[in-house]
Every structure is written in C-alpha cells, then in structure tokens.
Homo-oligomer: A and B are copies of this chain.
Amino acid sequence: MTRTSRDDVVAAAGRLFAERGYHGTSMRDLGKELGLLGSSLYSHVDGKQQLLVEVVNRGAGFFQQSADAALATQGSASDRLWALVDGHVGVVLDHRSEVRTYLNQAEALHDEFRASVIAARDRYEEAFRTVLKDGAADGSFRSDVDPPITAIFILSILNAVDRWYHEDGRIDRDALVSDIFDFTADGIS
C-alpha cells in the first residue's frame, strides 16, 4: 500500500457514487474504501460536491473524445455511425463507474455544474444527429429519418448497456456492437 493519490480518491468516489448514488455515499464510506478516515479526504479534495463534479467531468470527457474520433473516421455516414456506436460501447464498458455517475447522478450536481453537463450531453448527441442527417442526405439511410429523435433512440439503447451487459456473457463486445448497429439499421422486420 503506497500513499493515496488524488486520482485514487476520485476513482473510488466514482465507484461508490455509481453503486450507491451520491446521497447514498458518505465521506466516511469513501474513506473506508481507501483505508482512511473521512476527515482525511479533505487533504486531497475540497469537498464531496467537487468529487462528483470531477467524476462527472471524466465521464463526459470520455464520451466527447470518442465522438470526436468517430466523426473523424473516413468513409460513409454509415461507417461513422458504426464508429459512434463502437466508441460509445467502449466508453461504457471501460469506464463504468464514471459513466454510471455521469448518466445517473448528474441531478445531484449544483445548478451551474448540472447545466454544463446538459450542454455536454447535447454536444455529444449532436454528433449522432449530424451523422444521421448526412446519411439521410447521401442515401446511406432512409431519407425520412428524423435525426433528433433517432439520435435519442440510438443513445437510449447505448446508455442502457451498462445496466444489463456483462462482459462474460454469451455475446462479446464486438457482437454487442454489431447487434446494436444491425437493430438500428434494419429493425426486426
């Protein structure tokens, strides 16, 4: 056991916030997770709310990085949509705590920070809307696709992944991405 870093504290906060919720986690719980007292955390961070802000910002950052990379992908709109789906699944599975906290605990943020999360989500969603609009225009997708609502449907599927998917189940990560993409592209008919 070496000494606890600030990063360790934020990571542990992410885990507990994801599991028990922000209000369900006390600073003493968090201290225990790290093998120290609740009061000792204040030499690493200013307070509990700051920890939530930091975890949520990490979550938002992972998603935005993924979207930026996906939009830079060469190829058709369909290829870029695949990259968005693949990237989103990767973020969810590689950063579960931060993602869960980002998706479910943002309501515990103070007003200013919550507003910036809403803005970040909209910016991320915009990547999906853009790809859908491009694909509807160039014939990759049906011309009557409604980008805003379709983006919401796709993101609903993607954001729910962390609620049910287990890496050791019957479908691996690539199959999951394929299944989501195929469902989105072709539906069940």
Name A's B-contacting residues (CB within 8 A). Answer: 19-24, 104, 107-108, 132, 135, 141-142, 145-146, 149-150, 152-153, 155-157, 159-160, 164, 171, 179-180, 183-189
Contacts and interface: CB of A to CB of B under 8 A. Distances in A.
Contacts of A142: 186, 188-189
Contacts of A150: 183, 188
A21 B157 CA distance: 23
Work out how many copies of this chain go into the complex: 2
B183 A189 contact: no
B23 A132 contact: no
Contacts of A141: 188-189
Contacts of A132: 188
A122 to B, nearest CB: 11
A149 B155 CA distance: 16
Contact of A21 (B23, B156, B184): B23
A141 B189 CA distance: 4
B164 A152 contact: yes
Given A21-B23, A153-B157, 13 more contacts: A20-B23, A20-B107, A21-B21, A21-B107, A132-B188, A141-B188, A142-B189, A149-B179, A153-B180, A160-B160, A184-B187, A185-B187, A187-B187
Nearest to A25: B23
A5 to B, nearest CB: 28
A107 B164 CA distance: 14
A156 B160 CA distance: 6
